[in-house]
Structure 1
Amino acid sequence: MTVQKLTSPAFNLRAVTRPNILLLEPYRCARDDYKTGILLDANENAYGPSIYTDAVASETETAGSVIRAELLAGLHRYPDPHQEDVKQLICNLRNEPSKNDASVKPLTPENLYVGVGSDECIDTVIRCFAAPGKEKLLSCPPTYGMYRVAAQVNDVEVVPINLDLEVPGFPVRTEAVIEALDKDPSINLVFLCSPGNPTASLVDPESVAKILAHPTWNGIVVVDEAYIDFSPPGSSLAPWVTKYDNLIVMQTLSKSFGMAGIRLGVSFASAPVARILNNVKAPYNISSMTSDLAMKALSPAGLANMHKKIAAIVEQRNRLLREFPKIPGVGNFIGGNASNFLLLQILDKPGGIPSSATALKLYESLAETKGVVIRYRGSEPGCTGGVRITVGTEKENDVLLEKVAETLAAIYGE
Structure 2
Amino acid sequence: MPIHGLSPTAYPPNPAHFDIEKVIRPNILALHPYRCARDDYKEGILLDANENALGHSISTQASSSDASVYDPMLDMDLHRYPDPSHDSIKTRIAALRDVSGVDHVFLGVGSDEVIDLLMRVCVAPGKEKILITPPTYGMYSVCAQVNDIGVVKCPLELSGQAGEGGTEGRFSLKVEEVKKAINADASIKLIFLCSPGNPTGTKLPLESIRTILDYENFKGIVVVDEAYIDFADEGSSAVSLVKEYDNICVMQTLSKSFGLAAIRLGVAIAKPPLIQVLTNTKAPYNISSPTAHLALSALSPSSLATMQSKIKTLIDSRAALLKSLSGIAHLGLGSSIGSNDANFVMVPVLSKDGSRPDNVRAQKVYKSLAEENGVVVRFRGNEPGCEGCLRITVGSEEENATVIRKLELVLKQF
Bin the TM-score by the shorter chain.
Answer: 0.7 to 0.9
1:352 to 2:335 alignment:
no
Partner in structure 1 of residue 391 of structure 2? 388
1:154 to 2:157 alignment:
no
Q: Which amino acid aligns with 1:332?
A: S
Moved over 3 A (4+): 64-67
1:230 to 2:235 alignment:
no
Q: What's the RMSD between the two structures over aligned residues?
A: 1.2
Partner in structure 2 of residue 68 of structure 1? 73
Cα-to-partner distance string for 1:65-94 (whole Å, 9 max, x where unaligned): 6732442xx111110101100001011111
CA contact (8 A) 1:140 1:192 kept: yes
Q: Distance in 1 between matches of 2:261 and 2:409?
A: 32
Partner in structure 1 of residue 273 of structure 2? 272
1:333 partner SS? coil
1:330 partner SS? coil
1:380 partner SS? coil
Question: Could you tell me how far 1:238 is from its partner in structure 2?
Answer: 1.3
What TM-score does the superposition give when structure 2 sets the normalisation length? 0.80
Q: Which amino acid aligns with 1:323?
A: S
2:381 aligned to 358, 378, 398, which one? 378
Question: Could you tell me how far 1:216 is from its partner in structure 2?
Answer: 2.4
Partner in structure 2 of residue 107 of structure 1? 100
Q: How does 1:142-221 map to 2 (within 5 A)?
A: 142-169=135-162, 170-221=171-222
1:365 aligned to 356, 360, 368, which one? 368
Q: Which amino acid aligns with 1:216?
A: N
Question: Could you tell me how far 1:167 is from its partner in structure 2?
Answer: 3.4
Question: Could you tell me how far 1:350 is from its partner in structure 2?
Answer: 5.1
Query: How many residue pairs were aligned?
Result: 336
Q: How does 1:129-144 map to 2 (within 5 A)?
A: 129-144=122-137
Partner in structure 2 of residue 117 of structure 1? 110
Q: Distance in 2 between matches of 1:350 and 1:88?
A: 56
Q: Distance in 2 between matches of 1:280 and 1:125?
A: 10
1:77 partner SS? coil
- The percent identity for this pair of structures is 50
Q: Which amino acid aligns with 1:330?
A: L
Q: Distance in 2 between matches of 1:79 and 1:158?
A: 36
CA contact (8 A) 1:345 1:387 kept: yes
Partner in structure 2 of residue 42 of structure 1? none
1:127 to 2:117 alignment:
no
Q: Distance in 2 between matches of 1:340 and 1:217?
A: 32
Q: Distance in 1 between matches of 2:410 and 2:126?
A: 47
Question: Could you tell me how far 1:314 is from its partner in structure 2?
Answer: 0.7
Partner in structure 2 of residue 289 of structure 1? 290
Q: Distance in 1 between matches of 2:71 and 2:381?
A: 48
Mark the runs of 5 or more structure 2 residues left unpaired by the alignment. Answer: 1-68, 163-170
Partner in structure 1 of residue 339 of structure 2? 336
Q: Distance in 2 between matches of 1:354 and 1:258?
A: 33
Partner in structure 1 of residue 402 of structure 2? 399
Partner in structure 2 of residue 83 of structure 1? 86
Question: Could you tell me how far 1:308 is from its partner in structure 2?
Answer: 1.1
Question: Could you tell me how far 1:239 is from its partner in structure 2?
Answer: 3.0
Q: Distance in 1 between matches of 2:408 and 2:309?
A: 30
Cα-to-partner distance string for 1:36-91 (whole Å, 9 max, x where unaligned): xxxxxxxxxxxxxxxxxxxxxxxxxxxx96732442xx111110101100001011
Mark the runs of 5 or more structure 1 residues left unpaired by the alignment. Answer: 1-63, 96-105
Identify the structure with bigger relative contact order (alpha carbons < 8 Å, sequence gap 6+): 1
Cα-to-partner distance string for 1:235-265 (whole Å, 9 max, x where unaligned): 1111321210000000000000000000000
Q: Which amino acid aligns with 1:140?
A: T
Q: Distance in 1 between matches of 2:278 and 2:124?
A: 15
CA contact (8 A) 1:107 1:239 kept: no
Deviates more, 1:106-115 or 1:116-125: 106-115
Q: Distance in 1 between matches of 2:348 and 2:291?
A: 38
Q: Which amino acid aligns with 2:203?
A: L
Q: Distance in 2 between matches of 1:325 and 1:148?
A: 34
Question: Could you tell me how far 1:364 is from its partner in structure 2?
Answer: 0.3
Q: Distance in 2 between matches of 1:349 and 1:69?
A: 56
